[in-house]
A and B are shown apart, each in its own frame.
Chain A
């Protein structure tokens, strides 16, 4: 995807979680308060109270649309939702215009452009800079048409261009600022990612080279310690004894069995073993299928983050992970189902905290469901595979 189409939420799954619920509430409240206060302030100019009330109602709907549309459970926030927010905000501006048409003495106390600007700022973490700028420019154009066609004593001696610019300034400026924020976050994040990827690749290379140099292959090493000396002993032996033949058969069986086990397990087993070693929490992995290997790096990170979080600070007494592949009637055919079940430890986590990990996983393309009881929590991830 081109960078000018990327929104902060596209490059950082934490954005929808960190920004949501506070920014939208604050901005929505600010927009509604602005509409009410400014309407009251210029009530003497209002010719149509119904239109004035409608204007406030549109602003309230716009604020609700922004708040609901940016909820983590409804992620991602699409450009279509932005246009819904803009349309209702513009509706408020138009209704306000109709409420005072012909009697508007000051453009300075009209809330329409300000409210649109506030709403644009509130959804900046969810939209690309181009979308925000387009929204701002189009909103500004509509506002310009409104104000240019509105006769008023207040600005009859000023050039129309001046009146238009002054009127649309709050919308255009706020939209530009929102676009600037979106642009900066995306570029800063991508720049860091480029740098981080270099370090990660170097780290991976060193790790793999180190493992190769170390001659340490975990479970394989044990077998290796037996197989290679046995074969070496055959180089100088004159004859193969019955014992040697039996030993060779036994080693061949062990080798075959180990290879089968290694193929049947995945990175998840190694991660679980590492968590168990470091935190002392039993982590059992039951993999009836190696489909977990199809998860891409980001999805693996989301799963690893949840497991690591559960394993520390006495949140879980034990963890069990079941990986299965299931046929579905979906277009993609099959899904890999990863069920993480944690028996609560001395400090059980709140469901809300676990939901955040599910939300991160959803942002990364994994379906995630959380269910809790008094004793345990189960987080089920599902990922479509072809």
Chain B
């Protein structure tokens, strides 16, 4: 079992699946029609070969609709299908099998195949309009065929019932999809939230375990030693473990006394604190959850820090405008000579390769801004899963 599709993707996907179902039905129906025609041809009706060819022509044109799903190919299919229906009506009504009216199983084949066009566009309304158009084309062609063959025209019962059935199915599909159930459950986004909680839990447990493994032995040694001189070996072990845990530089800085060990930096006056970003979030009513220490921005030169601040502000602006959620998360950190800010949301997301416009704003306001300062931005996004943008800026600079 997977969690299925998010509501944003589901509408388009179900529509595509319904269209595909129609195409498969039409191909099979036209194929069976071709076999019927060939059987008749073998039985002594040469027009059966032409009828089989026309059915296959119609099936081939439908394949183009399936591949391209454009208005042009859909209309072309209706035109070809209308022509095929007209010719087959003439053949059928002029045959020696004595068909009384045009309401029969043979003429129903192209008429029904027309109804299964699917057509360009998404949604129940567009699909229903294509069905109405296809139905009209089929019946007009049948009528024209009856006139040419001088036979009695009667509306195709099968095509009429199927047209109504498709419209009903499409309406049902539209109603169930608009019921909001998928949106309400929001399973995919809940999955992201649960994974995030799991990641935080794993990380916190790892951190306390590492601290425990590193510090507990030394704390117990100090506690049990009681008052007296410190053993040099214990001192060396503490130095080595602290260097592993928080880095040699920090140990050198703090070995003289107490300080804040959660980070190597202190927020001094004038240190940038992402004030633009937070002001933007406040203006847009965005609830921003921050992890990490703003003091890492002190590793950047003032100009770089300001540029990073503006880039983060732009990312938050995009969340407020496009993500459809009111929450975002910022994770600040540093390592490898870079300051990193990850901006995450669990919103609508987008497909970077299909929405170049969404990337254009990002490119100008974020990527190029950072690149001017030798930084970079990476974007991950998918519809229904939200967006993650990781901004990095090298330490120092102007």
Chain A residues proximal to chain B, CB less than 8 Å: 10-15, 17-19, 22-23, 26, 30, 34, 107-108, 118, 121, 124, 157-159, 161-162, 165-166, 169-170, 172-174, 176-181, 183-185, 188-190, 192-193, 195-196, 199-200, 202-204, 206-208, 210-221, 223-242, 244-246, 248-249, 251-252, 255-256, 258-259, 262-263, 265-271, 274, 277-278, 297-298, 300-305, 308-309, 353, 356-357, 360, 363-365
Contact = CB atoms under 8 A, between A and B. Distances in A.
B242 A231 contact: yes
Given A210-B342, A221-B262, A274-B193, A107 B105 contact: yes
A181 B17 contact: yes
Contacts of A240: 222, 225-230
Interface residues of B, number: 133
17 contacts: A30-B165, A108-B104, A108-B105, A159-B42, A173-B29, A190-B2, A206-B344, A214-B292, A215-B262, A216-B262, A216-B292, A227-B261, A228-B242, A231-B241, A262-B205, A301-B3, A303-B194
Given A245-B222, A297-B194, A301-B187, A239 B215 contact: no
B198 A220 contact: no
B255 A184 contact: no
A208 to B, nearest CB: 5
A10 B2 CA distance: 7
A356 to B, nearest CB: 6
A34 B216 CA distance: 79
Contact of A196 (B169, B255, B385): B385
Most chain A CB neighbours (cut-off 10 Å) among B108, B200, B234, B241:
B200
A245 B227 CA distance: 7
Contacts of B342: 206-207, 210
A234 B230 CA distance: 8
Given A161-B36, A224-B262, A225-B262, 20 more contacts: A11-B2, A13-B4, A157-B97, A176-B27, A189-B2, A195-B382, A196-B385, A216-B262, A227-B215, A227-B219, A228-B245, A231-B238, A234-B230, A235-B242, A240-B230, A244-B222, A245-B226, A259-B209, A263-B205, A271-B194
B211 A227 contact: yes
Secondary structure of the B contact surface, majority rule: helix
Contact of B333 (A199, A210, A278): A210
Nearest to B205: A262
Contacts of A266: 201
Contacts of B4: 11-15, 189
Contacts of A271: 193-194, 197
Interface stretch (B123-131, B134-142, B177-185): B177-185
Given A169-B29, A185-B14, A357-B185, A298 B293 contact: no
A13 B27 CA distance: 30
B25 A176 contact: yes
Interface of B: 1-5, 9-10, 13-14, 16-18, 20-25, 27-29, 32, 35-36, 39-40, 42-43, 96-97, 103-106, 108-109, 112, 116, 157-158, 161, 165, 168-169, 172, 175-177, 179, 181-182, 184-188, 190-205, 207-209, 211-212, 215-216, 218-220, 222-230, 234-235, 238-239, 241-242, 245-246, 251, 254-263, 287, 289, 291-293, 327, 331-335, 340, 342, 344, 349, 380-382, 384-386, 388, 390
B2 A12 contact: yes
Nearest to B24: A180
B195 A297 contact: yes
Which of A221, A258, A356 has the most chain B CB within a 10 Å cutoff? A221
Nearest to B332: A214
B263 to A, nearest CB: 5
Given A10-B1, A30-B165, A252-B216, A305 B181 contact: no
Nearest to B116: A177
Contacts of A166: 36, 105-106
What 3 A-B pairs come out closest when comparing CB atoms?
A213-B333, A12-B4, A180-B24
Contacts of B177: 18
B197 A274 contact: yes
Most buried by B among A161, A258, A357: A161
Nearest to A29: B168
A177 B24 contact: yes
B382 A211 contact: no
A301 B219 CA distance: 41
A277 B197 CA distance: 13
Contacts of B197: 267-268, 270-271, 274, 304
B188 A196 contact: yes
Contacts of A309: 184-186
A228 B182 contact: no
Contacts of A211: 199-200, 203, 291, 331, 333
A200 B227 CA distance: 54
